[in-house]
């Protein structure tokens, strides 16, 4: 390479570096940050590690489905790596888990349980790409009606597809906002010659999953070729009507088909497991090999996993919704509201609620551990050939901790069987509920208040916009129209909003755009709503073309918002019965049924335990108020001798209380997804509310019922005196 050529290369290399570092490429820099490959997830790293050594052959049909799911989910893996991982990892898990279960624990049950988990893991890992893809589709689908609304609203006054797509991208949230930006970026990088070509290519992947979205965009594009303004506007209105009507129809079918799966989920995941608890005391009394952790593996692992994956399968068929935006993603005021705030020396500080909630949870959990830890301090001695352990005595012969010698191994002290221990074990579900529930509540309740104020404004906004549009149509300048509407709607959220704009214009001398969007005093700061924000941006742009154009734009926005609200209310009516049933399960039925069952379990366990400790006698004499004695023959004694040590109610409570917490958590997320789509803020708010309320109800009801049933069981046992001769 000669010197002149090298100098030319260096010259243009420096110019290119200067352009890349310059202000004129800030858009590229932002785009690059958004779309650079994200840091690999643990799943992606696992697939890559396994894929280095195993590359199985996959049927073309399955491979095509996996490729589509991987592309939707934006995963950096191949179908071969996914399939290899789904068989290699569970296979290794089965081998090691079964060997360890037998060698370390000597438990055939645990070995078979681990085998079952490994088999289930094959299906789960095969489904992971589809799971991520479905999450991505749901998140995007919940913004599609708004996307069409933004594009149509913008093109209503400015027939420019590229600017309309950019407007939608600015006001949507990821992932659909990223998709719209990618459509524009592919044109800027000359991958496609026009926005239409780029958009057509993007819409291909939605033909299978959301035809109404594709049809609406096709109508929007066709409006560009209409010569008549009236026909052009009519086609745009038709595009929004299309997605609204077809969304309603799809949600109608979804609601009709939802009842059977929800009933199955309710019966298999909640009712049958809870009713099955009644048999557990008998099982553990007659089968000495059954331990409490066996029950925990079934109730705290198997059943919640079934509810979770079955719930996800139900949600995979949910059509496009109207999921609200998480305002913490774009509003600084809402982000601050997620923290616990306090003032110090006239400055406001915010702290993350997580450490506080963890400390509360740990403190309460320590209370639950006391009965188990107390075993180290229990002293036992032999009195008249019987081993008696020190304890805190309660009325009716009940004890607080309830440690006693094993029936089959008198030297082994087992427990705690006492009433106090049973009550203290409820601190575990309470610790989980308060730590998780308080965390979600503290993060969401102030943010929800902001959004509720915003939603009240949105509900009134159609009326305010209609009045404002009519004022503009009468030829009144926008600056005066704001003041007129604020005066008319005084005392409402809309009146407050328009009053802020009017004050900014009259007292601070701001223009309309500055009065709305000023970074310090703009009216939009108090109401972080994408709908209101986009409406006001359209107003600020259309008003430059005259009050009549602005009036038409505002009146059409008001009509579109009203139509969207109407369809949304219809959808809520369709789902009201199902959502109502799930809410009743969360708020009352599940805690009530579980508390009754755990109380019955405590009673049965106490009766069987009391009888099993006195099996050395052959005579049962009835106590005061009863007559006669019964001699136990060898057969009857043999039947009684089948009783084992049983499992303390303390451990039952740990397992069932945790199960109640898990079910409330899962049902809350499923019901929220059915009703609100991928609304993370609403989900956090409901979790904070339901976890605390329902778990506290369970703890209180179970504690009261355990006391009542323990008194009943103590009375029954005291009526039966087993003789020593």
Q: Report the 3 state secondary structure along 322-349.
A: CCCCCHHHCCHHHHHHCCEEEEECCEEE
In degrees and rounded to multiples of 5, residue 620 shows phi and psi of -110, 125
State how far Cα 361 lies from the chain centre.
Answer: 21
Task: Specify the residue for token string 């066709």.
Answer: 222
Mean pLDDT, rounded, for 476-481? 84
Decide if 137 contacts 72 (C-beta within 8 A). yes
Residue 640 has pLDDT above 60, yes or no: no
Task: Specify the residue for token string 């499992």.
Answer: 647
Lowest mean pLDDT among 143-157, 378-392, 583-597, 707-721: 378-392
Stated length of the chain = 725
pLDDT of residue 467: 86
Confidence of residue 284 (pLDDT cuts 50, 70, 90): low
Predicted confidence (pLDDT) per residue in 525-572, tens digit: 877 777 777 778 778 777 777 777 788 778 877 877 777 777 777 777
Kindly report the CA angle at 442 between 437 and 444, in degrees rounded to 5? 95
Confidence of residue 252 (pLDDT cuts 50, 70, 90): confident
- Please give the helix or strand (H or E) that residue 721 lies within, else none: strand 720-722
Mean predicted lDDT score pLDDT of the chain: 80
Confidence of residue 688 (pLDDT cuts 50, 70, 90): very high
Mean pLDDT, rounded, for 684-701? 92
Residue 276 has pLDDT above 80, yes or no: no
Residue 36 has pLDDT above 60, yes or no: no
Residue 340, SS3? strand
pLDDT of residue 692: 93
d(CA 455, CA 423): 44
Rounded (to 5) percent helix, strand, coil in the chain: 75, 5, 20
pLDDT of residue 414: 81
- Please give the helix or strand (H or E) that residue 722 lies within, else none: strand 720-722
Residue 45 has pLDDT above 80, yes or no: yes
Decide if 315 contacts 670 (C-beta within 8 A). yes
d(CA 336, CA 446): 9
Q: Which is nearest to 648 in space by CA: 414, 322, 362, 301? A: 414
d(CA 496, CA 53): 65
Task: Specify the residue for token string 């020396």.
Answer: 345
Residue 26 has pLDDT above 60, yes or no: no
Supply 305's token pair.
Answer: 């996993």
Burial 324-335 (b: 16+ CB within 10 A, else e): bbbbbeebeebe
Lowest mean pLDDT among 152-156, 518-522, 645-649, 661-665: 645-649
Mean pLDDT, rounded, for 10-33? 54
Residues forming beta bridges with residue 414, ordered by sequence position: 404
Residue 15 has pLDDT above 90, yes or no: no
Decide if 599 contacts 708 (C-beta within 8 A). yes
Mean pLDDT, rounded, for 475-483? 84
pLDDT of residue 14: 62
pLDDT of residue 4: 63
What end-to-end distance do the CA atoms of the chain give, in Å? Answer: 113
Residue 631 has pLDDT above 60, yes or no: no
- Please give the helix or strand (H or E) that residue 115 lies within, else none: helix 108-141
Residue 711 has pLDDT above 70, yes or no: yes
Lowest mean pLDDT among 341-350, 471-480, 609-618, 644-653: 609-618
Q: Around Cβ 519, how many Cβ atoms within 10 Å? A: 7
Supply 508's token pair.
Answer: 């601070």
Confidence of residue 405 (pLDDT cuts 50, 70, 90): confident
Residue 115 has pLDDT above 50, yes or no: yes
Supply 281's token pair.
Answer: 């005391």
pLDDT of residue 533: 79
pLDDT of residue 662: 92
Predicted confidence (pLDDT) per residue in 491-500, tens digit: 887 888 888 8
Supply 360's token pair.
Answer: 């509360």
Predicted confidence (pLDDT) per residue in 411-445, tens digit: 778 878 888 888 999 999 999 999 999 999 988 88
E strand map for 231-375: 340-344, 347-351
pLDDT of residue 723: 45
Residue 220 has pLDDT above 90, yes or no: yes
Confidence of residue 25 (pLDDT cuts 50, 70, 90): very low
Residues forming beta bridges with residue 325, ordered by sequence position: none
Burial 459-497 (b: 16+ CB within 10 A, else e): ebbbbbbbbbbbbbbeebebbebbbbbbebbeebbbbbb
Share of the chain above pLDDT 70, in %: 85
What is the 3-class SS of 218-247, one letter each residue?
Answer: HHHHHHHHCCCHHHHHHHHHHHHHHHHHHH
Residue 722 has pLDDT above 50, yes or no: no
Contacts of 176 (CB under 8 A, 6+ apart): 139, 140, 143, 144, 147
pLDDT of residue 724: 41
- Determine how β-strand 347-351 pairs with β-strand 340-344: antiparallel
Residue 661 has pLDDT above 90, yes or no: yes
Burial 369-405 (b: 16+ CB within 10 A, else e): eebbebeeebebeeeeeeeebebeeeeeebbbbbbbb
In degrees and rounded to multiples of 5, residue 648 shows phi and psi of -60, 145
Share of the chain above pLDDT 90, in %: 15
Lowest mean pLDDT among 276-290, 535-549, 682-696: 276-290
State which of 157-166, 432-441, 591-600 shows the largest mean pLDDT. 432-441
Mean pLDDT, rounded, for 305-329? 72
E strand map for 41-111: none
State how far Cα 717 lies from the chain centre.
Answer: 47
Confidence of residue 22 (pLDDT cuts 50, 70, 90): very low
**Cis omega (within 30 of 0) on the bond before 416?**
yes
d(CA 229, CA 231): 6
In degrees and rounded to multiples of 5, residue 188 shows phi and psi of -65, -30
d(CA 115, CA 97): 8
d(CA 161, CA 222): 11
């Amino acid at each position: 390479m000669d010197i002149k050529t090298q100098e030319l290369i260096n010259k243009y290399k420096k110019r290119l570096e200067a352009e890349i570092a310059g202000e004129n490429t800030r858009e590229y820099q932002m785009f690059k940050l958004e779309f650079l490959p994200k840091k690999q997830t643990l799943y992606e790293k696992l697939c890559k590690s396994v894929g280095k050594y195993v590359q199985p052959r996959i049927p073309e049909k399955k491979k095509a489905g996996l490729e589509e799911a991987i592309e939707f989910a934006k995963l950096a893996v191949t179908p071969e790596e996914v399939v290899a991982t789904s068989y290699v990892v569970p296979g290794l898990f089965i081998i090691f888990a079964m060997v360890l279960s037998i060698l370390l624990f000597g438990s055939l049950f645990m070995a078979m349980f681990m085998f079952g988990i490994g088999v289930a893991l094959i299906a789960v890992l095969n489904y992971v790409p589809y799971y991520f893809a479905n999450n991505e589709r749901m998140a995007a689908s919940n913004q599609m009606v708004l996307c069409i609304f933004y594009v149509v609203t913008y093109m209503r006054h400015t027939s420019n597809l590229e600017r309309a797509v950019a407007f939608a991208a600015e006001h949507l949230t990821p992932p659909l906002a990223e998709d719209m930006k990618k459509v524009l970026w592919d044109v800027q990088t000359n991958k496609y010659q026009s926005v239409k070509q780029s958009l057509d290519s993007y819409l291909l992947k939605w033909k299978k999953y959301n035809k109404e979205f594709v049809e609406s965009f096709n109508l929007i594009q066709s409006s560009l070729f209409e010569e008549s303004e009236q026909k052009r506007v009519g086609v745009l209105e038709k595009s929004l009507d299309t997605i609204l009507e077809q969304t309603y129809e799809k949600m109608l079918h979804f609601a009709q088909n939802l009842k059977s799966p929800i009933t199955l989920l309710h019966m298999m995941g909640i009712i049958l497991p809870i009713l099955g608890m009644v048999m557990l005391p008998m099982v553990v009394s007659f089968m000495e090999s059954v331990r409490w952790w066996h029950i925990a593996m079934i109730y705290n692992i198997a059943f919640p996993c079934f509810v979770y994956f079955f719930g996800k399968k139900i949600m995979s068929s949910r059509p496009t919704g109207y999921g609200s935006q998480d305002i913490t993603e774009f509003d600084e005021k809402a982000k601050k509201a997620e923290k616990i705030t306090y003032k110090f020396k006239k400055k406001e500080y915010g702290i993350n609620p997580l450490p506080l909630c963890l400390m509360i949870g740990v403190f309460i959990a320590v209370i639950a551990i006391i009965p188990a830890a107390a075993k180290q301090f229990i002293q036992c001695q032999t009195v008249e050939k019987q081993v008696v352990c020190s304890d805190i005595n309660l009325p009716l012969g009940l004890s607080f901790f309830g440690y006693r010698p094993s029936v089959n191994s008198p030297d082994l002290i087992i427990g705690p069987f006492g009433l106090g221990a049973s009550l203290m074990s409820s601190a575990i579900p309470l610790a989980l509920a308060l730590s998780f529930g308080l965390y979600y509540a503290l993060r969401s309740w102030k943010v929800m208040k902001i959004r509720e104020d915003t939603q009240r404004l949105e509900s009134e906004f159609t009326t305010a916009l209609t009045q404002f549009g009519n004022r503009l149509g009468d030829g009144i300048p926008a600056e005066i129209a704001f003041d007129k509407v604020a005066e008319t709607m005084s005392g409402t959220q809309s009146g407050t909003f328009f009053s802020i704009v009017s004050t900014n214009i009259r007292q601070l001398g701001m223009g309309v755009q500055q009065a709305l969007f000023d970074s310090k005093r703009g009216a939009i700061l108090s109401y972080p709503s994408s709908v209101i924000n986009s409406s006001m941006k359209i107003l600020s742009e259309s008003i430059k073309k005259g009050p009549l154009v602005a009036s038409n734009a505002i009146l059409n926005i008001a009509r579109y918002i009203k139509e969207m609200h109407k369809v949304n209310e219809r959808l809520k009516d369709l789902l009201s019965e199902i959502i109502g049933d799930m809410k009743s399960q969360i708020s009352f039925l599940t805690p009530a049924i579980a508390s009754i069952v755990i109380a019955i379990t405590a009673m049965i366990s106490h009766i069987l335990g009391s009888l099993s400790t006195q099996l050395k006698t052959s005579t049962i004499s009835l106590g005061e108020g009863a007559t006669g004695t019964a001699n136990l023959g060898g057969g009857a004694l043999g039947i009684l001798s089948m009783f084992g040590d049983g499992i303390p109610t303390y451990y039952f409570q740990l397992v069932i209380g945790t199960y109640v917490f898990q079910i409330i958590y899962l049902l809350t997320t499923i019901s929220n997804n059915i009703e609100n789509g991928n609304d993370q803020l609403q989900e956090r708010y409901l979790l904070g509310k339901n976890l605390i309320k329902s778990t506290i109800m369970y703890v209180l009801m179970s504690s009261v019922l355990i006391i009542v049933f323990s008194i009943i069981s103590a009375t029954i046992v005291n009526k039966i005196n087993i003789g020593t001769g």
